[in-house]
Chain A
Amino acid sequence: MADVLPRPDLPPPALPPSAGRGEPDAATVGTPPSFAGKGAGGLGPSLWRPALGVLTLLAILALWEALSRARVLNPQFFPPVTDILGTFVALWRNNVFPGHLVTTLWRMAVGYAIAAVLGIGLGLVMGRWRAVYELFEPLVEFLRPMPPVALIPVLILLVGIGDEMKIVVVAFGSLFPILLNTVEGVRGVHPTLLDVARTFRYGEAALLRRVIFPAALPQIMAGLRISLAIALIVALVSEMIGATAGLGYFVLQAQRGLRIRDMYAAIVLLALLGFTLNWLFLLVEARVLAWHRASTGQQ
């Protein structure tokens, strides 16, 4: 039987270049933004499929609302959807949510920026010079698989529960995907490009800035995208454990104080935040990599 079947024609290298190092990679995490409308055949080309998805979502929410109002679902644990939305609007209007949101975003942004600068800088050096890579390899390989949230108690000992603690944890957690993707990207630069640069007598600095960095950029962006999600998670956890403000603090305090509507409203805000950050990143990435798509003939 196996001999009769034609050789399966498999998808393009689904085992990514980073396969085996345990790092999420471009091919899979950097998935296209939408798959709801994808599919063979069907009626109209685009509109009705996403519409069906929205209808399903609305149906689920309506069912929740009805079951909660009918007290089939315990409203103490599952308050009606409309109540949650009302709480959301109220918390937004009286400035509770915007304040916590800004606090969380600030900590996250600073840590993420530090990780981006360090990760891309170190990654360029480690990718360019094998000796440097090998020097740091044991350290990186040991620290990388560690869940970053485990560092929070140590950092509380070292620097207390202030902003420094959150920023350091966010930076640590975001560092490795950016670093390793940059290394992979630099190593994957086509040798011809390097030869051309040499022919034009580029110095090492110009080579890194004008050839290697742009060529590695798609992979660097993939690392930045993975780290964006990690940065948000780690920022929230650090606020859950030791903080007096921020969305992570708010959502856990709401749960502990049995303010269940506040808790759900905050979770809705977090879902919107995650969605928006991801969407913004895709916009930026599309702009930054537009030349790359054009030059490789991709859509």
Chain B
Amino acid sequence: MRPTRLLGFVLVAVLLGVWEAAARTGLLDARFVPAPSSIAVAWVGFAASGQLVSDLLATLGSWAQGYAIAAMLGVALGVLMGLMPAVRAMLGTTVELLRPMPSVAIIPIAIVLFGLGDPMKRFVVAYAALWPVLVNTLYGVLAVDPLLHDTARTFRLGPLRSTLRVVLPAASPYIATGLRISTSIALILVITAELVASRNGLGYFVRASEQASRVPEVYAGVLTIAVLGYLLNALFVAVEARVLAWHRGLMRTEAA
């Protein structure tokens, strides 16, 4: 590890140390900014009571279900719109109008339709995560080299096989980008839904702790959400690297 790289971690440690000292000496008002050590204690309590696990599972469950729905719908619609000009022409305007809408605007509608439970969260996540997947898939399919389509036709691949074996692999780098963007959007939306209107999940824990003035718990909850975001992102990067390893290799040989 290069020395400056190490220094980065030292910087984080120093910042934490200064924070701890400032909170203990009263330089920071511990009622609002508790010391890192008291946040750690609160986190251990959060974990030991079993609430961490149940809230984490609630958040992850809604995140994963909504994300899965968005991924399947987004890829399917994107491929349909990419391969069939008529479908693209019909749905294009609607997609272009809905896509730039700030996705949190769907939350009130979701509450009206589904109430405050998990189905509401799932719907909100699925709606918001849909657009990046859909649009990137569409562009990926449109960018497929016509030569590939011709080759598939030469080999007499039917529409289903040529879609599965030629179009989807060729578009997969785009699809992966859409999926990656949606990973973080889905997390923002599930946390928002929990902050605004929910009775479980990490977002709810943070909001309820804040309203009850359990301040170290607020920080412990936010820390947990930050770690969750970090891990989900790292997981996606690792999976993407594996799945698209062939593509990177190909780009390298072509560049060489």
Contact = CB atoms under 8 A, between A and B. Distances in A.
Interface of A: 4-11, 13-16, 19-22, 24-25, 27-29, 31, 34-42, 49-50, 52-54, 56-57, 60, 77, 130-131, 134-139, 141-143, 145-154, 156-158, 229, 232-233, 236-237, 240-241, 248, 251-252, 254-255, 260, 263-264, 266-267, 270-271, 273-275, 277-278
Contacts of A260: 112
Interface in B80-94: 85-86, 88-94
B200 interface: no
Given A22-B237, A136-B11, A148-B188, A57 B97 contact: yes
Contacts of B12: 138-139, 142
A57 B98 CA distance: 11
Contacts of A147: 184, 187-188, 191-192, 225, 229
Given A10-B254, A154-B210, 10 more contacts: A10-B173, A22-B233, A31-B139, A36-B89, A37-B89, A38-B88, A139-B8, A153-B210, A241-B207, A252-B108
Contacts of B207: 153, 241
10 contacts: A8-B148, A14-B174, A20-B240, A22-B180, A22-B184, A35-B88, A35-B96, A138-B8, A153-B221, A233-B103
A77 B112 contact: yes
Contacts of A137: 5, 8
Contacts of B15: 139
A55 B147 CA distance: 34
Interface residues of B, number: 94
Contacts of A39: 85, 88-89
Most interface-central of A8, A11, A150, A266 (chain B CB within 10 A): A150
B135 interface: yes
B206 to A, nearest CB: 5
Contacts of A16: 177
A180 to B, nearest CB: 13
A29 B209 contact: no
B100 A278 contact: yes
A53 B206 contact: no
Contacts of B74: none
Mostly, the B contact residues are helix
Given A15-B248, A20-B241, A146-B225, A52 B89 contact: yes
B109 A263 contact: yes
Interface in B14-38: 15, 32-33
B56 interface: no
Residue of A22, A141, A252 with highest tally of chain B CB at under 10 A:
A22
Given A10-B247, A149-B188, A263-B109, A50 B233 contact: no
Interface string B132-161: 100110111011110110010001000000
Interface of B: 2, 4-5, 7-9, 11-12, 15, 32-33, 85-86, 88-94, 96-98, 100-109, 111-113, 132, 135-136, 138-140, 142-145, 147-148, 151, 155, 166, 169-170, 173-174, 176-178, 180-181, 183-184, 187-188, 191-192, 195-196, 203, 206-207, 209-210, 215, 218-219, 221-222, 225-226, 229-230, 232-233, 236-237, 240-241, 244, 247-248, 250-251, 254
B85 to A, nearest CB: 4
A267 B210 contact: no
B209 A153 contact: yes
A224 to B, nearest CB: 15
Contact of B97 (A19, A233, A237, A271): A271
A42 B89 CA distance: 11
Contacts of A9: 145, 147-148
A237 B210 contact: no
B8 A135 contact: yes
Nearest to A281: B100
A150 B225 contact: yes
B226 A143 contact: yes
